[in-house]
Amino acid sequence: MSGPRPGLPRWAAVTAIAGAGVFAAVDAVLVHRAGYPWYQSIPDALVGWAYISGGVIAFRAAYITGGVVAFRARRLDRTGTLMTAIGVTLNLDNVAFYVHALVPYAAWLGNLVDPLLAQLLLSYPSRALRSRLERAVLAAAYVQVLVVNGVRVVFVPPNYYPCPCVHSFPTVHNPAVFHALETEIGIAYVIIGTAVLALVFRRWHRSSGRARRALNPLWFAGLATITALILEEVLGFAGLTPAQLNAAYALVTVIGLSVPVALMIGLVRLRQSRSAVADLVVALDRAPGPAGVQQALAAALGDPSLTVCYWDPETQAYVGADGRPAGPDPPPRRAATEVTADGAPLAVLMHDSELLDQRPLLDAVAAAARLALENARLQAALAAQLEEVRASRARIVQAGLEERRRVERDLHDGAQQRLLALSLTIAMISDKLAAGPGTDPDLTQLAGTACGEISAAIGELRELGRGLHPAVLTNEGLAAAVETLAALAPLPVTTRILPARYPPAVEATAYFVISEALANVARHAQASKAEITACGDGGRLAVEIRDDGIGGAPARGGSGLTGLADRVAALGGRLTITSPPGGGTTIRADLPCI
């Protein structure tokens, strides 16, 4: 069956199962009255009822599942058809016990149950019959049951049936042909039955992990039933009394009950896995973001090791949720399930290879998560870009600080050293002029002026260097550098800074924050005193500059504070300004020590 089809409504399903139940009860009574013991009539009716009920439940499950996984619905439809067919065939066989006109038809088609059961067992867990061998064995079984057995019934010996039945079945009495075919059918039954047993066992043996656990009840029920049917056929040749044979048949029938029961258990489990998909949809809604999607998928598939890689169209490669490259080649015992959107790669689920046995669940989960995966991929791409921008901003600021240090060093080692040497030389000239008798006093004065000019130039150069990057910061750290700043400030400044060292960029940024803040205090705050504190806890450095001035400083604006806030942010930190009018100003910078 394929394509959409109207579902089996609940009332119809309940009616069908209840009707089959009533029929089974009546059937059991009628078979008993036809002369069969209860221990045979009741199991017969019960098995017929169980198969029909199982079939109805399968149809119903197919209807419910249909929207999520179409091919699973088709498989359930086929399961329902096979189970119902088995149930109807069993019932036909039973009805013949008291509707004698049906006896030859029952004799012809009664054994149809066996190939139907074989087909059910060989096709239920997977999409279709897998191997040519399976198809061949099954075809042989159908040929035996429908063709060979049909011919046998045509050649039925006179008075073979235990009742004087009037029927429409074409009949040519020929006991010799009849018995020959009967022997052939019996032998073929044992051979084909053994082959089916081996094929079912092979399927069980090849299935692994989760699939084996999920389908174990059906495998064991199937293997037990086929074994019992083969033994029953062998017993037919063993010359048992009719009473003993009837007891054996009843036992086999009871064992046969295990297959529909196991199938119904499987259908209940199927509904549970369907609810796993429903739970996933809810979980995806509640836990967005790449990490949330991964967690929800891991929970839905029961594989905590599951990871998700997203397709990055820019690099044409898979990346992890953190934006780092991740290969789609799964390591051993791992498998990759690709999720596509409109034919384009979207994501890859890396999971335990055992999950491959649950392909339909995997596909259903992937389908349910597609939209969330697409969102998560966009988020992952955005996170990667943002991370890149953050990193490049930090690099630019660090490079800027590094450049300032370099320029400061160059100034110090180059121009300043030359000026210093020059100042000593001119001082020496000045000394000599002053000591020498008869020197022009104007010349002495000029030399003195030159000395002063050079000293002033050296002083200015030193200030310039300090503005670029204070040497004391590199040499002694933040505490000493801030002490120097405080000493130069035009108002009393108390400092509370532990003499610890931090990364150069952090120290420099903290220093410039304090320097700019102190300059602002001096310019605008009309404060009588200020206080600087800095404390670090290994991972962070927090500096705070507090004054008792007029407050009202703009939190953001054209001031130097904006530039400071940018520099602090570039290092992943935060600058906050608290400045209520009349309440003083507090500037605080939190810097991570990267």
Partner 1 sequence: MVVRVFPLGQSGAGEQTGTVIATPQARPGTLVVVDDHARFREAVRGRLAAAGWRVVGEAATGAAAIDLVARLTPDVVLLDVVLPDMDGFAVADRLAAAGNSSAVVLTSGHDRGDFAGRVRAAPVRGFLPKEMISGPALAALLAGDQP
- Sign (positive or negative) of CA dihedral 457, 458, 463, 469: positive
- Sign (positive or negative) of CA dihedral 257, 260, 266, 269: negative
Structural tokens at position 444: 């002495």
Q: For residue 506, give the amino acid letter.
A: V
Phi and psi at residue 537, in whole multiples of 5°?
A: -125, 40
Pick from 341, 471, 550, 593 the residue near partner 1 by CB under 8 A. 471
Q: Considering the complex, what minimum distance in angstroms separates the CB of residue 464 from partner 1?
A: 13
- Rounded-to-integer distance, Cα 471 and Cα 473, Å: 5
Q: Considering the complex, what minimum distance in angstroms separates the CB of residue 593 from partner 1?
A: 22
- Rounded-to-integer distance, Cα 573 and Cα 507, Å: 13
DSSP summary character for residue 354: G
Task: Pick the closest to residue 66 from 2, 16, 13, 14 (CA basis).
Answer: 2
Which residues from 385-424 bind partner 1, rule CB under 8 A?
412-413, 416-418, 420-424
Number of residues that bind partner 1 (CB under 8 A): 34
Specify the residue, 441 or 558, whose C-beta has the smaller distance to partner 1.
441
Using the contact rule CB under 8 A, the part of the chain among 68-76, 199-207, 467-475, 535-543 near partner 1 is 467-475
Angle at 479 between CA 478 and CA 482, to 5 degrees: 80
Q: Considering the complex, what minimum distance in angstroms separates the CB of residue 398 from partner 1?
A: 23
Q: For residue 523, give the amino acid letter.
A: R
Q: Considering the complex, what minimum distance in angstroms separates the CB of residue 412 from partner 1?
A: 6
Specify the residue, 482 or 517, whose C-beta has the smaller distance to partner 1.
482
Q: Considering the complex, what minimum distance in angstroms separates the CB of residue 473 from partner 1?
A: 9
Q: For residue 137, give the amino acid letter.
A: V
Element of type H or E holding 540 = strand 540-547
Specify the residue, 144 or 430, whose C-beta has the smaller distance to partner 1.
430
Q: Considering the complex, what minimum distance in angstroms separates the CB of residue 430 from partner 1?
A: 6
Q: For residue 238, give the amino acid letter.
A: A
For 462, residues 6+ apart whose C-beta sits below 8 A from its C-beta are 416
Specify the residue, 431 or 566, whose C-beta has the smaller distance to partner 1.
431
CA atoms in the 13 A half-sphere facing the CB of 546 = 9
Instruction: Assess 464 for contact with partner 1 (CB under 8 A).
Output: no
- Rounded-to-integer distance, Cα 203 and Cα 208, Å: 10
* DSSP-based helix, strand, coil % in the chain, nearest 5: 70, 10, 20
Instruction: Assess 508 for contact with partner 1 (CB under 8 A).
Output: no
- Rounded-to-integer distance, Cα 559 and Cα 5, Å: 72
- Secondary structure (DSSP) of 49-60: HHHHHHHHHHHH
Phi and psi at residue 169, in whole multiples of 5°?
A: -70, 130
Specify the residue, 148 or 419, whose C-beta has the smaller distance to partner 1.
419
DSSP summary character for residue 525: I
Q: Considering the complex, what minimum distance in angstroms separates the CB of residue 467 from partner 1?
A: 13
Q: Considering the complex, what minimum distance in angstroms separates the CB of residue 481 from partner 1?
A: 8
Specify the residue, 126 or 455, whose C-beta has the smaller distance to partner 1.
455
Q: Considering the complex, what minimum distance in angstroms separates the CB of residue 409 from partner 1?
A: 9
Task: Pick the closest to residue 308 from 283, 266, 273, 337 (CA basis).
Answer: 337
Residue 554: count of CB within 10 angstroms of its CB: 11
Q: Which residue has the tokens 């004698």?
A: 100
Specify the residue, 25 or 480, whose C-beta has the smaller distance to partner 1.
480
Specify the residue, 370 or 412, whose C-beta has the smaller distance to partner 1.
412
Using the contact rule CB under 8 A, the part of the chain among 327-335, 362-370, 480-488, 582-590 near partner 1 is 480-488
Task: Pick the closest to residue 553 from 528, 589, 517, 510 (CA basis).
Answer: 517
Specify the residue, 256 or 465, whose C-beta has the smaller distance to partner 1.
465
Instruction: Assess 476 for contact with partner 1 (CB under 8 A).
Output: yes
Q: Considering the complex, what minimum distance in angstroms separates the CB of residue 401 from partner 1?
A: 18
Structural tokens at position 465: 């260097």
- Rounded-to-integer distance, Cα 471 and Cα 275, Å: 68
Q: Which residue has the tokens 């529909």?
A: 260
Q: Considering the complex, what minimum distance in angstroms separates the CB of residue 476 from partner 1?
A: 5
- Coil, strand or helix: which one is 324? coil
Specify the residue, 151 or 458, whose C-beta has the smaller distance to partner 1.
458
Q: Are 254 and 39 in contact (CB under 8 A)?
A: no
Specify the residue, 459 or 580, whose C-beta has the smaller distance to partner 1.
459
Q: Considering the complex, what minimum distance in angstroms separates the CB of residue 514 from partner 1?
A: 16
Q: Considering the complex, what minimum distance in angstroms separates the CB of residue 480 from partner 1?
A: 4
Instruction: Assess 470 for contact with partner 1 (CB under 8 A).
Output: yes
Task: Pick the closest to residue 594 from 570, 561, 577 (CA basis).
Answer: 570
- Secondary structure (DSSP) of 201-237: HHHHHH--HHHHHHHHHHHHHHHHHHHHHHHHHHHHT
What track of x and - describes contact with partner 1 for positions 52 through 91 (by CB under 8 A)? ----------------------------------------
Pick from 261, 458, 550, 569 the residue near partner 1 by CB under 8 A. 458
Specify the residue, 216 or 455, whose C-beta has the smaller distance to partner 1.
455
Specify the residue, 407 or 471, whose C-beta has the smaller distance to partner 1.
471
- Rounded-to-integer distance, Cα 562 and Cα 556, Å: 6
What track of x and - describes contact with partner 1 for positions 274 through 313 (by CB under 8 A)? ----------------------------------------
Q: Considering the complex, what minimum distance in angstroms separates the CB of residue 532 from partner 1?
A: 16
Q: Which residue has the tokens 């953190």?
A: 322
Q: Considering the complex, what minimum distance in angstroms separates the CB of residue 475 from partner 1?
A: 6
Specify the residue, 395 or 406, whose C-beta has the smaller distance to partner 1.
406
What track of x and - describes contact with partner 1 for positions 91 through 130 (by CB under 8 A)? ----------------------------------------
Instruction: Assess 500 for contact with partner 1 (CB under 8 A).
Output: no
Specify the residue, 386 or 428, whose C-beta has the smaller distance to partner 1.
428
What track of x and - describes contact with partner 1 for positions 417 through 456 (by CB under 8 A)? xx-xxxxxx-xx-xxx-xx--------x---x--x--xx-
Give the interface with partner 1 as residue ranges (CB under 8 A).
412-413, 416-418, 420-425, 427-428, 430-432, 434-435, 444, 448, 451, 454-455, 458, 462, 470-472, 475-476, 480, 483-484, 487
